[in-house]
Structure 1
Amino acid sequence: MQSRTPASRPGRPRSAAADAAILAATREALVELGWSKLTLQDVATRAGVAKTTLYRRWAGKNELVVDAVAELFDELRLPDRGSLAADIEGVVLQFAALLDRPECRSGLMAVVAESTRDDLLRERIRASIVDRQKRLVLEGRARAAERGELPPESEDEEEAARTVDLTFDVVAGAVVHRTLVSGKPADEAWVRSFIRVLLLGLAAPS
C-alpha cells in the first residue's frame, strides 16, 4: 500500500497489516456512525490496535479519514479496451461502481462536507485523492496519442497541466453529480451518452 501519511517517528517499522486494518476499520465506522460520531478510539478498537498506534501514523481524524477514502480510489485502473471512448467508458463505470459502495460514498461525502470549513483538509483531499487520480487522465491521453486518436501533448507545461485538470474536473464532476448529488445511476447508457458529448461536444448527434 502506498503511504500518504507523514513519516512515522523513529521506532519499530510500520506494519502494513496494521495500516490496512486501521483504514478498513475507519471506513466501517464511517458507514455505521457517520463523521460526527466517529472517534479514533472506536477505530482503534475495531482495528485491534492501540489508540497510540493511530497517533503515530495520523495527526487526527481528518487525515485518517482522507487516507481511508483515498485507498479506495487507488483501486481505479484505466483499462485498455482498444479506443479512447471505450477506455473512458471502462474507468467511468469503475468510478460509478466505487461511488455506489457505502464506505466510499459515506467517506467521500463526509470529508468534502467537512472541508468546506477546513482549508487544510481541502488541501489534503486535493493531494491525496484528486491529484493522485489525475494519473488516469495522463495515462489515457498518452495511450490515445499513441493510437493517433489525440494530438501529442502540448510542450507548454502549463497548458498541458490545465488540460489534464479540466479533463479530470469534467469527468469526475459529472459522475459525482450524477450519482451523489442527483442520486441517479451512471449506467452504461448514461456513460456512453456522456462520452459522446465529452469527445464530440454539444453539437454531437444524439
Structure 2
Amino acid sequence: MVTIMSPSHTPRTPPAPPASPSRTGRPRSVEAHAAILDATRAALVELGWSKLTMGDVASRAGVAKTTLYRRWANRSELVVDAVAVLFDELRLPDRGSLTADVEGVVLQFAALLDRPETRTALMAVVAESTRDEALRERIRSSIVDRQKRLVLVGRERAQARGELPYEDDPAQAARNADMIFDVIAGAVVHRALVSAEPVDAQWARSFSLLLVGGLTTTPGTPPSPRASTGPA
C-alpha cells in the first residue's frame, strides 16, 4: 500500500553536521617554518657548524627534508635565516638621551652575541661568505640591512630631542646611518667575538660616550651639549 503524504507533511531535510571548529593559532606552514629555525639553532649548539646537516634539522623539526630544500638551497641560507630571527629581537627603547640609547642597544647586541647559537652561526656563515657572494648578499639583506632600522629610530629620536641636527641631504644622511651602524656593530662584534673581551655596562658606557662625543671627548666624561650635534 502506497501512502500519499500531503504537502503539509513533506519530510524535513536532515540537519547538516556541525561544522568542525576552526583551527586557532598559526597556520601549519608558519608553525613548520618556526620549528625548522628552532631546530637549526638547537643543532648548531649541540653539533656545531661542521656536523650540522639539513637531514638532522628536518628530523628535529619533524618535517621532510624536501620541505627544507623548497625554502633554502643549502644549510648556509638556512642558518642565516635562523640567526636573523634572533637579531630581529633587538629593540631601541627610549632611555632619554642619545648616549643612553646607544648604550642600551650595545648591551642588547652583546647579550645576543653571547648566546651559543648566535656566536656559532655568525662566525660560520661569515667565514663561508668570503667564498660565496650570494651568501654574503643574504647576510646583508637578512641581518645587516634589517638592523639598520635601529640607527634610523635612534637618529630620529635624537633629532626630536634637539641632540642632533636635521639633515638636508638624504644621500648623506643614508651614508651617515650606514657608518654609525658599521661603527657600533663592528666594535661590539670585534670585542665580543674576536678579542673575547666582556661587553659590560662600563665598556658600553665608555663606548657610547666616545661615539656620541667624538674623539675629543675623554671616555667616562659626559659630552658637552655641542659634542652631540655631529652627523648621525
> One fold, TM greater than 0.5?
yes
Counterpart selection for 2:156 from 137, 142, 152: 142
Deviation at 1:28, TM superposition (A): 1.2
Tell me if 1:156 matches 2:169: yes
2:98–2:212 Cα contact (<8 Å) kept: no
Superposition TM-score, scaled by structure 1 size: 0.90
Alignment partner, residue 86 of structure 2 = 72
Query: 1:79 and 1:55 mapped to 2: Cα distance?
Result: 38
Tell me if 1:108 matches 2:109: no
Query: 1:37 and 1:158 mapped to 2: Cα distance?
Result: 44
Q: Which moved more, 1:50-59 or 1:141-150?
A: 50-59
Alignment partner, residue 5 of structure 1 = none
Query: 2:28 and 2:146 mapped to 1: Cα distance?
Result: 22
Deviation at 1:14, TM superposition (A): 6.3
Counterpart selection for 1:176 from 181, 189, 206: 189
Alignment partner, residue 197 of structure 1 = 210
SS of residue matched to 2:157: helix
Q: Which moved more, 1:32-41 or 1:65-74?
A: 32-41
Deviation at 1:89, TM superposition (A): 1.1
Which consecutive segments of 4 or more residues in structure 1 shift more than 3 A?
none
> Where in structure 2 are there 5+ consecutive unaligned residues?
1-26, 220-232
Tell me if 1:38 matches 2:52: yes
Indicate the structure (1 or 2) with the bigger Cα radius of gyration.
Answer: 2
Deviation at 1:199, TM superposition (A): 0.9
Counterpart selection for 1:83 from 62, 78, 97: 97
Tell me if 1:93 matches 2:93: no
Alignment partner, residue 76 of structure 2 = 62
Letter of the 2:205 partner, please give it. R
Query: 1:113 and 1:55 mapped to 2: Cα distance?
Result: 22
Alpha carbon RMSD of aligned pairs, Å? Answer: 1.2
Deviation at 1:174, TM superposition (A): 0.4
Which has more helix, going by share of residues?
Answer: 1
SS of residue matched to 1:117: coil
Which string of whole-angstrom CA distances, capped at 9 and with x for unpartnered residues, describes residues 25-72 of structure 1?
Answer: 111111222222211100000111111111122122121111001010
Deviation at 1:145, TM superposition (A): 0.4
How many residue pairs get matched? 193
Deviation at 1:201, TM superposition (A): 1.4
Deviation at 1:203, TM superposition (A): 1.6
Superposition TM-score, scaled by structure 2 size: 0.81
Alignment partner, residue 145 of structure 2 = 131
Q: Which moved more, 1:57-66 or 1:168-177?
A: 57-66
Query: 2:170 and 2:156 mapped to 1: Cα distance?
Result: 15
SS of residue matched to 1:184: coil
2:100–2:208 Cα contact (<8 Å) kept: no
Query: 1:67 and 1:164 mapped to 2: Cα distance?
Result: 24
Alignment partner, residue 47 of structure 1 = 61
Counting aligned pairs with the same residue, the percent is 74
